[in-house]
Amino acid sequence: MKTKFSLFLGLLLSASSAFAGEFNLLGDLGRLGGLFDGKRADILEVSPPPTMPAPNTGDWGVPSIQGVPIEALNKHRDVFKEIQSCEAVDFMYFRQPSAAEAIGSLSDCLSALSKRYGVAITAAEGRTGIVLMVSGLIPPGSTVKSDLATALQLRNGKLFGIPSALLDLERPASDRQTSSLQPIVDRCPNSPRSVADAAAFVEAFGKCVREAKGISITAMRADEKDGTLVLIYSRDPKHLIREMNGVVRVLTENGVTRLRVQAQSEFLTDGMLDNGLGLPVALSR
């Protein structure tokens, strides 16, 4: 009888413990859910589990990694994994950080990368995500751009779950180079009597240029401060964007109008250029 009673008591205590554990778990989940009711803006982060040590395999002949530098194990040259302050890009978050929050979290990481490569690496909020920008004199043989491009590619073009891109800031419009858009403008059927400024050019030729085959222009407008400057946003590769920069000439009944074209990736915003971030990258040879 005593044995049966002890068994019953043991089962009762086990059930009580399980119930208490479930109650505590539900309480923890409730408190966790309270973090997302708008009262707190904290971003909770969970670090990925550390790499598990290799098991003792005895005589199985499994290659040992003992003594191999960590850089050698990083076969993809992922610079974000080589710098401790960059580890946050691989954390899992209980809510999606905003672009502004993500850029703030990248501050120490980009400072460390800038020191490592000897150039300025900054981040800003673009039209559709985060833009990493490299500026300054890039030393010969530097792998800064290829390393950053690889790190983004390994993360499917996203940082903190936000679409991200790498830009070496495009050169400004030249007064001596003819824009690659000149042949397109020449083929446009428009024959305006006059094109006084950039705004008139966009009105007369904007639709024709945007619909041209072989290029992908998403927006086109006149600069607010410079009446001779046409701003173009494009999804094209960087080398095509650079070729768009330059001068276009429009022949009208009133003569030739000469305007400058400044093309840039659609990731860039006008605010970046206004804040002096639109400086060209000087490649030393």
Q: For the chain, give me the number of helices (H) and strands (E)?
A: 10, 12
pTM over 0.75: no
39's CB contacts (< 8 A; 6+ apart) are none
- pLDDT, tens digit, 9 for 90 and up, residues 3-47: 554 555 455 445 444 444 444 544 544 544 444 444 444 555 544
User: Where exactly are the structural domains of the chain?
Assistant: 73-168, 182-267
User: Of 70, 72, 88, which is closest to residue 80 (Cα–Cα)?
Assistant: 88
Q: Centre a 10 Å sphere on the Cβ of residue 23 and count the other Cβ atoms it contains.
A: 10
Q: Are strands 255-265 and 246-252 parallel, antiparallel or unpaired?
A: antiparallel
- pLDDT, tens digit, 9 for 90 and up, residues 158-216: 999 899 988 765 455 566 789 999 999 999 887 777 788 999 999 999 999 999 998 99
pLDDT over 70 at 123, yes or no: yes
- Helix, strand, coil percentages (3-state) for the chain, rounded to 5, are 40, 20, 40
Provide the Cα torsion 171, 177, 179, 182; round to 10°: 170
User: Of 130, 131, 133, which is closest to residue 121 (Cα–Cα)?
Assistant: 133
